Structure 1
């Protein structure tokens, strides 16, 4: 699973990992997408394409969609049936398969690139990285993409203080378990950040936060209290109290390359 961070609770981690299916439709509606320039940078080591790209732990297809728009052939693998159903509905151009990072339903050396959107922290990397290396052609990139709220913006930093979810912190993608761990099948990693934004209202931002696993596993009363704290904060800010606004995001990309042999 990588190096567990301080306070790591394996039972809670498992509950959170299994929580998304019940909110699959809300996830598809409210989670942000990924910018095309971030996806293009992730794939750059593979060459100009078009490529066969594996979107691993693809969820509802938030990353599959820009990959298809860039002209690539996409195979999307997702373990949760409800998430997979939303993926097939929203990105019919992708080939959607049931599977996981630890058991990928593809032949050896069959894809040009592997990408992971907001999901590597759910992997058992000791098992997943050799399995990814198995299906990835030598020289092909493995890349993770993670959206984080941009706390360099003052009101967003304030939101992070009242939100119970880690997804608001700009160092989210660099925490233990949320990055590609060193492995002999892959080169050293490199990183890049891409500015991004999502158009939201106070209520749709609360709906977005409500799809985060921290919220999904709360007891109902605790969940409603957390949402009300966020609602009160957004009502108090001039940037967010009157209609739609842009939520500033950073898309953090980490990539490495499959070694030869």
Structure 2
């Protein structure tokens, strides 16, 4: 197993921590992803790939779509089923989805496209999408333009998603057309416990040796003390949600 694959498959060990520590997606961003196929008389069908604990699944469901959740990790899907009901779940990957051809209107990935082979995943999305269907990619990123957030990121180590998106828009190949993008800035109220859960849910931290995890946690506690995130006191963590969509030709 490659290093990237080991990181990508690490989250199940901390599935409940992931559910607690990671933010949900702004409903406006998810609505934007689905706009090209929404609005008709027929209820649209969406595949949430790399669904994890259901952070994106539940928002898609809230918008009235029929959704199926796909993830390579059974532990993540088990946690999803605890809080998101009436959603079929399947073990699978972006490169190999357990879905028939031309069976969904949208394929969405939250916090996941940076883990996939973009050529193979685009081809597979094209297979399961109906003509004119949409591929939607979305990431919640901490806003490192804020000094204390940048300090926190430096302590925790930059994520693979942050590194990939710093190089430009995600790669999306055939059979998709031009990639559109949009972003939203917002804040998430968090206390000390949710800040620590957020850090502990990151693949780099999950797979790090014990002494490295201890170093990260000590450094993060120092930042939290400085910003007043002590006990149950709430501090707003600024986020930027970046979303991308492309239509199947």
- Tell me the TM-score normalized by structure 1: 0.88
Q: Which of 99, 102, 124 is residue 109 of structure 1 equivalent to?
A: 102
Note if 1:94 corresponds to 2:84.
Answer: no
1:182: Cα distance to partner? 3.8
CA displacement 1:152-179 (0-9 Å, x = unmatched)? 3232223223222327x9x556245x95
Choose the corresponding residue for 1:153, options 138, 146, 152. Answer: 146
Counterpart position of 1:218: 208
Give the structure 2 partner of residue 85 of structure 1: 78
1:36 and 2:36 matched: no
Instruction: Measure, in 2, the Cα distance between the counterparts of 1:197 and 1:207.
Output: 17
SS in structure 2 at match of 1:60: coil
In structure 2, distance between residues paired with 1:184 and 1:128: 10
Question: 1:195 aligns to what?
Answer: 185
Aligned position for 2:155: 162
Residue 23 of structure 1 is aligned with which of 5, 14, 31? 14
Aligned 8 A contact 2:123 2:174 in 1: no
* Structure 1 residue ranges, 4+ long, deviating more than 3 angstroms after superposition: none
| CA deviation profile, 1:114-173 (whole Å, cap 9, x unmatched) | 100001111122221111100001111101110000123232223223222327x9x556
- Report the 3-state secondary structure (helix = DSSP H, G, I; strand = E; otherwise coil) of the residue aligned with 1:14: helix
Provide closer, same or farther for how the CA distance between residues 173 and 241 of structure 1 changes in structure 2, counting only shifts above 3 A. Answer: farther
Q: Indicate yes or no: 2:113 matched with 1:123.
A: no
Other structure's SS at 1:251 match: strand
Deviation at 1:255, TM superposition (A): 0.8
Please point out which of 48, 59, 83 is paired with 2:39. 48
Cα distance in 2 between the residues matched to 1:183 and 1:193: 22
What TM-score do you get using the length of structure 2 for normalisation? 0.92
Give the aligned partner of residue 223 of structure 2.
233
Structure 1's 172 and 71: CA in aligned 2 closer, same or farther, altered over 3 A?
Answer: farther
Any conservation in 2 of the 1:146–1:173 contact (CA below 8 Å)?
Answer: no
Q: How many residues align?
A: 246
Paired position in structure 2 for 1:183: 173
1:83 to 1:182, Cα distance in 2 relative to 1, 3 A? closer
Q: For structure 2, which runs of at least 5 residues remain unmatched after alignment?
A: none
User: Which runs of no fewer than 5 residues in structure 1 stay unpaired?
Assistant: 1-9
Distance 2:27 2:64 in 1: 11
